[in-house]
A and B are shown apart, each in its own frame.
Chain A
Amino acid sequence: MGQQIVNGLFLGSIYALFALGYTLVFGVLDILNLAHQAVFMLCAYVALLLVGSLHLHMFAAFPLAVLAGGLLGIVVDRVAFKPLRGRSDSNISGLISSIALATILEAVGLQLFGPDVERFPLGTVPDRGIQIGGAVVSEIQVVIIAIALLVMGALTFLLQRTRLGRRIRAVAESPLAARILGVNVDRIIAAAFFLSSALGAAAGVLFGLAFNNVAPDMGRAVELKGLAVIILGGMGSMPGAAVAGFALGLLEVFTVAKLGSSYRDAIAFGVLFLVLVVRPHGLFGKAALREA
């Protein structure tokens, strides 16, 4: 039982990191960035290349891959979202534009790396088990949960205690007001994308490490779960994304154990649907969701 809880938290921490990236951009721009999963995937490959071909240690590869993700995020903003900023239907067109960019990035990944699953070289991933009470947890699970929590902590600090964080929150509240107050909205949006994609990249590398499985379609698997997480947590709410991420991870693991693997995805969407119909702003969200 304890082991299943660890399994759930472990899966949930990756969901949480991924969803945090989603929700950050949504909070600031009111747009869903569906290219997020492509960054997730590509940065897992970056880490793979750094470790596999350049023989860097994971400790070096991880921050580098995260950095790459952040930079890629800025590219995503410049290419897919910025040109549409003035348009009236920018929510939907932004969504579509991000889908387009995601498709392109996925194609690039497929062409560069081939469709087959890649693995980290043997030895990259610690494969020992650790005894905790009656449960045996794998070392990699503990490491990933720890890293995820650390990243979340750093993010919270950044958003609550730094000037950049304050500016991001200001723009999220009201871009117009922020601009009047002298904030360079464009640059802040870029910063938000940097952070968001860095989170996605972190999630990607950890996911790749967790299951030692990197493939061009790995983003798809998590993308829709990510949606369920942010809906459950409340769009635009960071604590919501974190809590909902862990919750979904636990929910999934116990569903698989009791009902079978086929229902794993059903749980995520069942929850999503339920939340949208019953309590659309999720656990922590406050966005206006309905038409007048």
Chain B
Amino acid sequence: MRFAGRLTLVAASFLFAAPQARAETVKIGAAFSLTGNAAAYGAQQKAGVLLAAEEVNKSGMLPGITLEVVVEDDGTNPQQGIAVFDRFINRDKVSAIIGPTLSTLAEAADPRAQEQKTPVVAVSNTKPNAITTIGDYIWRVSLTEAQVIPSATRAARAKLGFKTAGLLYGNDDAFTKAGFDVMKSALEKEGVQILGIQTFATKDRDFNAQLTALKGLKPDVLFVSALVEQAGSIAVQARQLGYTGPMLGGNGFNSTKFIQLAGPAAEGVLVGTAWNRASQDPLNQKFIAAMKARGTDPDQFAAQAYTGVLVVAEAVKQAGMKGGRDDVKAGLAKVKDLPTPLGAFSFLPNRDGDHAAAVQVVKGGKFEILQ
């Protein structure tokens, strides 16, 4: 009995091994912040890319090619990020790099990839007028703050009708600073009067002074551009200090970790998002279900990372099932209306991403699309 079982196993392995005997491996290097200030996003991104690679390989979309994703930690540290890129490019010989998590690191590490002619697909860098400007090997899936915040501001104003605002932002991170710039211009365009602007540093824990100063000016709404750790603290401290008005956050707030950190203080906070999780699109629903089955309640970062792998796979397909670096680069230019959890995805002529955005509000401890 046991011998027959073993024989069956051996036979089965031959059956399944045969088509793979000729498989070419296309390596993708994923540089994410698994530790450090952006770790909350990195964890989601890692789950996203691994799921995507698995599904692409299973789907047979790329016959004869196996996608292999190598994930490494950039530590939310530019030096470390550069080292990871070096290893991907020279040691692992990847065909493309996905990441890094933060725009600050991207500005440091992407030039290396550009110099070495390795395509980079940014899946969470949202600094506008940057990143893709580094060179023609740098592509972007994530919508920039300039693509998300103005519509979020408009929708929020339509719903809440605020006339004055206070602004708080982190001035030592490329993304939060860029987010602030966009917020300021969006508010000005909407005719909202900005009563006060305060700053903080990413390492700060104490926002009482800034929040007290802003609260004293009695704004109708508070706009905050921060990364998730600080976002959580800011929301909590603002409520503790007695600020009862509405808050609108930038992309940094777009993480379930924010709700976790802020607890009840997160209720009612508005956030523009690149991922409409309520979309009934079957691809989107399947993505959410698959992520949940793996123990992760996905957020925008997971969706974007997942899409990043889909886009690279599509690029390989468009290049004629070829996985070299220049093949991928050529293929990326041909990606058009690709079905993804983010919606139908295309690249703009400047290699930035293009798809529809949405606005969320935190209700009952969860992100909901603002109706």
Contact = CB atoms under 8 A, between A and B. Distances in A.
A and B touch in the complex (CB under 8 A): yes
B115 interface: no
A93 interface: no
Given A11-B206, A213-B233, A261-B204, A3 B212 contact: yes
A117 interface: yes
B229 A256 contact: no
Nearest to B239: A127
A10 B208 contact: yes
B208 A119 contact: no
A270 interface: no
A7 B233 contact: no
A8 to B, nearest CB: 8
Interface in B220-258: 229, 233, 236-237, 239-242
Interface in A118-158: 119, 122, 127-129, 136, 138, 140-141
Contacts of B303: none
Given A119-B261, A136-B242, A261-B201, A7 B208 contact: yes
B39 interface: yes
Contacts of A4: 209, 212-213
Contact of A116 (B35, B200, B242): B35
Interface size class of B (residues with CB under 8 A): 20 to 34
A221 interface: yes
B241 A213 contact: no
A260 interface: yes
B320 interface: no
Contacts, number: 82
A53 interface: no
A219 to B, nearest CB: 12
Nearest to A220: B203
Interface string A92-120: 00000000000000000000001111010
Contacts of A10: 208
Interface in B168-224: 171-172, 198-201, 203-206, 208-210, 212-213, 216
Contacts of A128: 240
Interface string B77-89: 0000000000000
Given A127-B239, A211-B237, 12 more contacts: A11-B206, A115-B35, A116-B36, A116-B39, A122-B264, A127-B236, A129-B242, A136-B242, A138-B241, A141-B208, A221-B203, A261-B204
